[in-house]
Amino acid sequence: MTIQTTRSVDEVIGELEESYIASSPRSRDYFERGQSSMAGAPKGAYFHKPYPLAMDRGEGCYLYDLDGRCFVDCANHHTAQILGHANPAVAEVVRRQLERGIVLGAPMGVEAEMCEEMCRRVASLERIRFCNSGTEATLHAIRLARFFSGRGKVAKFEGGYHGSHDAVEISVSPPLDQAGPPEAPVALPTAGGMAPNAAENVVILPYDDEAAVERLVEQYRDDLACIIFDPKAGIWSQRREFVQAVRECARKNGVLFILDEIVGFRVAMGGLQEHYGIDPDLTTYGKVVGGGFPAGAFGGRAELMDLLDNSQGGSGIFQSGTFSAHPMVMGAGMATLRQLTPEAFAHLNGLGERLREGLEELFEREQIAAKIVVLGSLFSLYFTDREVTNYRVAAKSNQGLSYPIFLALLEQGYYLNQGLGMCALSLPMAASHVDGLVEAVGVAIERVT
């Protein structure tokens, strides 16, 4: 059943915004003060209507806003805070590093530990390099693929996000009326201001369609430096066979395969590649590997990564960066990885499974046209009766409901991402937090419909 509203959605939104405004005066003051110096918000993702909540502190799985209200955090800083907030072991490492001088323009020992740990966890990683963000990680991995292959084009999937640079910010959220046929999507720049030919360097592949992927990769293989792929995208469900087929298609056509695990690394000890049983040539990381600090990383086969090895005289490609491999970040990352044990993943993924079961049961019982997509401890909520397996299904869902549901969840003390996509559970959570969220979603849907 499609969701029917007895009142207009606008009326409900009006009521919810009124309640939001009444309970967050300090956040409002903060937002208004910022208008004279910020371009709307300190960063794009920090804005949502009517104005963002400003937080005072976080502890475990809770956030406390400037007005003293407490929320169960189901966003976890864009999925990065897998241990929740103010983790004592991370805080201790950071405190020690502050005392040792913060950052000294030379390695301090912790970098090797972190690189070894990543290579130990992930079978395909023979070498790894660190940078400051996921964006930098995909930029450098793609540059390395271009350098190695001597080819210029990049294949990426429609709806996939890999950071904000010209090689990948193409067809991330294309308007459906301009996106072309589903089996041969048109490459459209996502943001203004890109190099005029940015989209010409990108081949767009559709999720969940092996035949189309094979045809397009075969067609462009002589020009393709790499395929960059995030099997979880927005998140929507991907069949294991499809993920494996994409990897094999790259191999068969002699095209490098870059797996984007910037978000997905949080699903298993060995990340998405362990989960799906694939062996990428290069993999990109970010988010959790920095333990709450700005981090990115990319790594893979020695044959490729060693091209960056300037200790051997250099091959003509270089990667560095003022704050890359920052010892505070490496320390916080190591302190995080140490806590990400098999038991921790079992707990996190068990919570994800409980959420999926709880919401599926709710939607079934109440005959609600909604889908919950869960991967490990990541989840997204859609208002549609179709299985969400690609960008176009997600784009056709009833996105008008996400905002009022988001506000209705905040009202009940659950903090999700504004579009209800790419939300994440954290290690300090218990079954009761998940059950509370399921109940709150039920109440929110009732409130909005």
- Contact residues for ligand PMP (CB under 6 A)? 78, 133-135, 138, 161-163, 230, 260, 262-263, 286, 296
Question: How far does Cα 9 stand from its chain's mean position?
Answer: 29
Evaluate whether 356 touches 374 at the Cβ level (below 8 Å).
yes
Q: How far apart are CA 66 and CA 310, in angstroms?
A: 48
Identity of residue 355 = L
**75 or 438: CB nearest ligand PMP:** 75
Q: Rounded to the nearest whole angstrom, what is the least distance from the CB of residue 134 to ligand PMP in the complex? A: 2
By beta-carbon proximity to ligand PMP, the closer residue of 124 and 417 is 417
Name the residue nearer to ligand PMP (CB basis): 134 or 331.
134
Residue 441's nearest CA partner among 424, 427, 413 is 413
Only one residue has tokens 């009833």, namely 398
Distance CA 256, CA 342 (A): 30
Assign 296 to helix, strand or coil.
Answer: strand
Secondary structure of residue 83 in the 3-state scheme? coil
Q: Which is nearer to ligand PMP, 363 or 406 (CB)?
A: 406
State the minimum distance, in angstroms, from the CB of residue 260 to ligand PMP: 5
- Rounded to a whole number of angstroms, the minimum distance from the CB of residue 163 to ligand PMP is 4
CA distances (Å), origin 295, targets 82, 156, 240, 292, 335:
14, 23, 28, 8, 14
Report how far apart the first and last C-alpha atoms of the chain are (Å, whole number).
Answer: 12
Least distance CB 422 / ligand PMP (angstroms): 7
Given the complex with ligand PMP, which of 27 and 237 has the nearer CB atom?
Answer: 237
CA 153/CA 281 separation, integer angstroms:
17
| Nearest distance from C-beta of residue 1 to ligand PMP, angstroms | 32
Q: How far is the CB of 91 from ligand PMP (least distance, A)?
A: 22
By beta-carbon proximity to ligand PMP, the closer residue of 138 and 389 is 138
Q: Tell me how many helices (H) and strands (E) the chain has.
A: 14, 14
